[in-house]
Chains A and B, each alone.
Chain A
Amino acid sequence: MSSWEVVIGMEVHVQPKTKSKMFCGCSIAGLNEPPNTHVCEICLGMPGVLPVPNKAAVEACIKTALALSCEIPQHTKFDRKNYMYPDLPKGYQISQYDLPMSVNGYLEVGASRVRIRRVHLEEDTGKLIHAGDKLHKASESYVDLNRAGVPLMEIVSEPDLRSADQARDYAMELRALLRAIGASEADMEKGQLRAEPNISIRRVGSQELGVKTELKNINSFRALHRAILYEVDRQQQALESGRAVVQETRGWDETEQRTFSQRSKEFAEDYRYFPEPDIPPLELDRAWIEELRRALPELPSVRRARLLDQLPAAQVAVIGADRDLADLYETAVAKGAPALATANWIVNEVAPTGKLMSGEYLAELIDLLQQGAVTRDQAREVHLESVETGRTPAEIVAEHGYSQVSDPSELRVLAEAVIDANPKAAADYRSGKKQAMQALMADLRKRAPQANPKVANELLLKLLA
Chain B
Amino acid sequence: MLARLGLEPGDEEFYADQLSGILGHIDRLQQLDTEDIPPTAQVVAVASRLRDDEPRPCLSQEEALANAPAPVNGFFRVPAIQEET
Which residues on A are within 8 Å of B, measured CB to CB? 18-20, 24-29, 34-41, 44, 52-58, 77, 85-86, 128-132, 137-145, 260-264, 275, 277, 279-285
Contacts and interface: CB of A to CB of B under 8 A. Distances in A.
Contacts of A52: 49-51
Nearest to A79: B41
Contact of B75 (A20, A142, A260): A142
Contacts of A27: 55, 58
Contacts of A41: 59
Contacts of B78: 86, 140-143
Contact of B53 (A19, A38, A128, A130): A19
A55 B60 contact: no
B77 A140 contact: yes
B83 interface: yes
A38 B58 contact: yes
A132 B81 CA distance: 11
Contacts of A85: 81
A262 B85 CA distance: 5
A384 B62 CA distance: 46
Contacts of A56: 52-53
Interface residues of B, number: 35
Given A20-B55, A143-B75, A281 B41 contact: yes
B48 A283 contact: yes
Contact of B82 (A130, A145, A277, A282): A130
B16 to A, nearest CB: 32
Given A85-B81, A263-B83, A142 B72 contact: yes
A140 B51 contact: no
B76 interface: yes
24 contacts: A19-B53, A20-B54, A25-B54, A28-B55, A36-B64, A38-B58, A39-B59, A41-B59, A44-B64, A52-B49, A52-B50, A52-B51, A57-B53, A139-B80, A141-B77, A142-B72, A142-B76, A144-B74, A260-B85, A262-B85, A264-B84, A280-B44, A280-B47, A281-B42
Given A20-B53, A143-B78, A281 B47 contact: yes
Given A37-B58, A144-B75, A275 B41 contact: yes
Nearest to A55: B50
B56 interface: yes
A128 B81 contact: yes
Given A27-B58, A143-B76, A263-B83, A39 B64 contact: yes
Interface string B31-46: 0000000000110101
Given A19-B55, A145-B76, 19 more contacts: A20-B53, A26-B56, A34-B74, A40-B58, A40-B59, A52-B51, A55-B51, A77-B42, A130-B81, A137-B82, A138-B82, A140-B80, A142-B72, A142-B77, A144-B76, A264-B84, A279-B49, A280-B42, A284-B48
